[in-house]
Structure 1
């Protein structure tokens, strides 16, 4: 009986270790696939800009027809838009695919022109590659927050209003890659970020939050993340 209990205990320990290894491998694979998706989207955004006098595609903030939003207008520049518009770690990935949505949200600073009440351009608009002073440090896209509704209108952030951390996590998921269930406060993990030169960085959620603690909004091209 003692030997049997010992064997059972050893099997339990090995199962726990194996489960942790499998979970870690799966998380790493999801990070890699997500980064590949974002890089392809970044390439498509730059190709679109190249054919439209440097201007970036539009979001549902500026158009009324879903087929005019960036998820659809980038399709001609991608081999298979459905293969890259959803993050494999997104718990609502299947629903987004079915509804033609994306796991990624574009940076309001870049993709939503700042206008006054009469529709006239204001300062602080960066909707063209020619308006970016530091593309390698300018954030283009994020992994969408679990708090955002499944809606075409969730295709962009409201990063001009990121005055505190709660507004950030209402828009994006800074801890998309974390062991177990993601903490509601957006910490305890990491996420991929797409930059305007086309590269993708994996950033720790705590490091991202520290930017706000220092009084900086890393989504703002004039206050770039470093």
Structure 2
């Protein structure tokens, strides 16, 4: 009878799997590939974020713009002023801004710095030095900001007439409250803020949002049509 005596290989080491690991070259190649992927992905993620913020800004302006249009229905077609007597207190000297009027019209809270609010563009920190509580301005070009409110029904070209624009930072987290007087003076185009990669959103009197650049040849008309 043949007896099997060699149940196990003499060289036990030979049956063990080879140790698996990265060489230095493979490790460096992996790091290089990751670096290339990050270089591709980070700008793409930034563009997606900027696009989402721009869409949110347009949504804010649309809601505020609808509030302005509703306001005119309750006020004989008249748009609000930058600052005006408080309609809730007609017998005293109190005044309110258009922002307060829209807060009441839309039943939304007054924005505080750092809030997510319809009064605050989510991209404002691209151009503002601090968190804001207002980043949109009422277009009252061509007249004083506290007198002679425009009338919506008198506008001859509402699709080319700006009601709301994006405004530069003035102080304390507030953007300019309005554009007024001459569009080429300190109260006019100087206050516009192109914070969406060189573009700015505008709410037009017919209810649509338009994106324009600083060199758009129609800017003057968009602003001055509020008086036409």
| TM-score higher than 0.5 | yes
Answering whether residue 193 of structure 2 is matched by residue 173 of structure 1, we say yes
Give the counterpart of 1:85 among 115, 119, 134.
119
Q: Which segments of 5 or more consecutive residues in structure 2 lack a partner in the other structure?
A: 1-23, 87-92, 112-116
1:96 to 132, 146, 162: 132
Moved over 3 A (4+): 62-67, 92-95, 110-115, 150-153, 164-167
Q: Which has the higher helix share?
A: 1
Would you say 1:138 and 2:161 are equivalent positions?
yes
| TM-score, normalisation: structure 2 | 0.71
Separation in 2 of the partners of 1:205 and 1:51? 35
Could you say which residue in structure 2 is the equivalent of 1:68?
96
Write the distance in 2 (CA, Å) between the matches of 1:69 and 1:142: 16
Q: Give 1 or 2: higher strand fraction.
A: 2
Q: Cα deviation per residue 1:175-208 (whole Å; 9 max; x = unaligned)?
A: x112xxxxxxxxxx211111111211122333x2
Q: What is the distance in 2 between the residues matched to 1:110 and 1:162?
A: 7
Matches of 1:165 and 1:2 in 2, distance apart? Answer: 62
- Higher Cα radius of gyration: 2
Q: CA RMSD in A?
A: 3.3
Give the TM-score normalised by the residue count of structure 1: 0.71
Separation (CA, whole Å) in 2 of partners of 1:10 and 1:223: 59
Q: How many residues align?
A: 191
Distance, in Å, in 1 between the alignment partners of 2:82 and 2:154 is 18
Q: Given the alignment, which residue of 34, 40, 43 partners 1:20?
A: 43
Deviations 1:22-48 (A, max 9, x none): 101111111111111101111100100
- Give yes or no for contact 1:110–1:127 (8 Å, CA) kept in 2: no
Aligned partner (choices 40, 43, 58) of residue 35 of structure 1: 58
